Amino acid sequence: MIITVTMNPAIDKTVEIDTLVHGGLNRIRKVEYDAGGKGINVSKTLLELGGTSIASGFLAGNNGRTIARVLKEKGIISDFVRADGETRTNTKVFEQNGSLTELNEPGPAITREQIEALMNKLDSYAGRETLFVLSGSIPEGVPGDTYARIIRMVHRKGAAVLLDADGDLFRLGIEAGPDILKPNRTELEEYAGLGAGASETELRRIAEKLKAQGAGTIAISMGREGALFVFADSAFRCPALSVKAHSTVGAGDAMVAGLAFAWENRLSAEETMRLCMAVSAGAVTTIGTKPPSWELTDRLMEQVIISKTQQGRTSFPETGERVAYPDRRNIP
């Protein structure tokens, strides 16, 4: 069972224009709305892959009710704590030259009682066959150590945790020993106090230190440079796939979904990397925060190139025979 936790969800509003005119009139060519927030994006991608999840976190006001309705219509189970105020709307302005400007609202303030209600809800789902996906920002009122607290709480019941965060959420979360990590290059550089442009050797060295703190699998997304995957005793590099990009929004969330799907289905390291690279590349071809179709992901998996950078075994169990990915076309 996969539980995605979105503390600060949003209505994602993606607008397309020719060129952004600062201080002037901008005519919108196209508008897309969708239920968003990093954990919710993971749930949407898991659904497209043929997997299931329960989406949780905080929802508030009319926007919160809209998100709950959209998730239900998509067939995604949700179990959110209701908060006061209004769930935010995030506006993404996409220009024809590929430039993206994001305007993100702060979201509602969360009370101590609502935080405890969510903690109790998550604790009730924890078990040895449960993976919690903690991703994205937190709203006002939620302490910066909340992800770390959740990790320690669910670990006591044998659950696993995938962490995708930045800043203090990442730093404090690391101290609690999450099982899977998905930082991007910038987040890892900031965590280690490095300047931009750290070498792959430096990034892998940081990942090795993180493994020593309990992380079993680390996927480092590097945008156009591809990704590094660090398992128990081995590391691999995958160059980015060549696709016609529309927007990079949601690519990281798609990779997180790939990691979560691989965990639940006990995919081999090779299958995990192929799925993560393909679904992430597919995500940049879509409009807004919509996940790529299973058919596109399936085609892209055959194009993934994997180069081993270090000898050793993998942390995902190897399978006696290739695990078949579910055919999304046969799922109602």
For 40-96, write each residue's pLDDT tens digit: 999 999 999 999 999 999 999 999 999 999 999 999 999 999 999 999 999 989 888
Q: What tens digit of pLDDT does each residue of 249-276 get?
A: 778 999 999 999 999 999 999 999 999 9
Mean pLDDT of the chain: 88
Any idea what DSSP says for residue 292?
P
How far is Cα 3 from Cα 79, in angstroms, rounded to an integer? 10
State yes or no: pLDDT of 32 exceeds 80: yes
| Residue 90 and residue 13 in contact, taking contact as beta carbons nearer than 8 Å | yes
Give the model's confidence band at 320: pLDDT under 50 very low, under 70 low, under 90 confident, else very high: very low
Q: Which pLDDT value is given to residue 308? A: 76
- Residue 324's Cβ-side half-sphere holds a number of Cα atoms within 13 Å equal to 3
| 166-177 as b/e: b if 16+ CB within 10 A | beebbebbbebb
Provide the residue type at 143 as one letter: P
State yes or no: pLDDT of 312 exceeds 50: no
Q: Which pLDDT value is given to residue 316? A: 42
Give the model's confidence band at 317: pLDDT under 50 very low, under 70 low, under 90 confident, else very high: very low
Strand order in the sheet with 131-135: 77-83, 54-60, 2-6, 131-135, 160-164, 180-181, 217-221, 227-230, 235-238, 307-310
Any idea what DSSP says for residue 29?
S
Q: Which pLDDT value is given to residue 322? A: 35
Q: Which pLDDT value is given to residue 244? A: 79
- Which residue's structure tokens are 């209600």? 117
Q: Which pLDDT value is given to residue 247? A: 67
State yes or no: pLDDT of 245 exceeds 90: no
Q: Which pLDDT value is given to residue 201? A: 84
How far is Cα 304 from Cα 230, in angstroms, rounded to an integer? 17
Q: Which pLDDT value is given to residue 208? A: 85
Provide the residue type at 124 as one letter: S
Residue 123's SS3 state is helix
Q: What tens digit of pLDDT does each residue of 135-176 get?
A: 999 999 999 999 999 999 999 999 999 999 999 999 999 999
How far is Cα 58 from Cα 111, in angstroms, rounded to an integer? 11
CA dihedral (199, 147, 318, 306) in degrees, to 10, reads -30
Please list the active-site residues. 253
State yes or no: pLDDT of 330 exceeds 90: no
Give the model's confidence band at 215: pLDDT under 50 very low, under 70 low, under 90 confident, else very high: confident
Q: What tens digit of pLDDT does each residue of 273-289 get?
A: 999 999 999 998 887 67
State yes or no: pLDDT of 323 exceeds 80: no
Question: How many residues are recorded in the chain?
Answer: 332
Any idea what DSSP says for residue 300?
H
Instruction: Compute the Cα dihedral for 230, 236, 239, 240 and give only its sign.
Output: negative
Closest Cα partner for 47 from 55, 59, 58? 55
Ranking 21-30, 163-172, 298-307, 323-332 by mean pLDDT, the lowest is 323-332
Q: Which pLDDT value is given to residue 329? A: 29
How far is Cα 40 from Cα 117, in angstroms, rounded to an integer? 19
Q: Percent of the chain having pLDDT more than 90? A: 66
Distances (CA, A) of 6 to 130, 255, 290, 300: 17, 16, 17, 28
How far is Cα 249 from Cα 34, in angstroms, rounded to an integer? 13
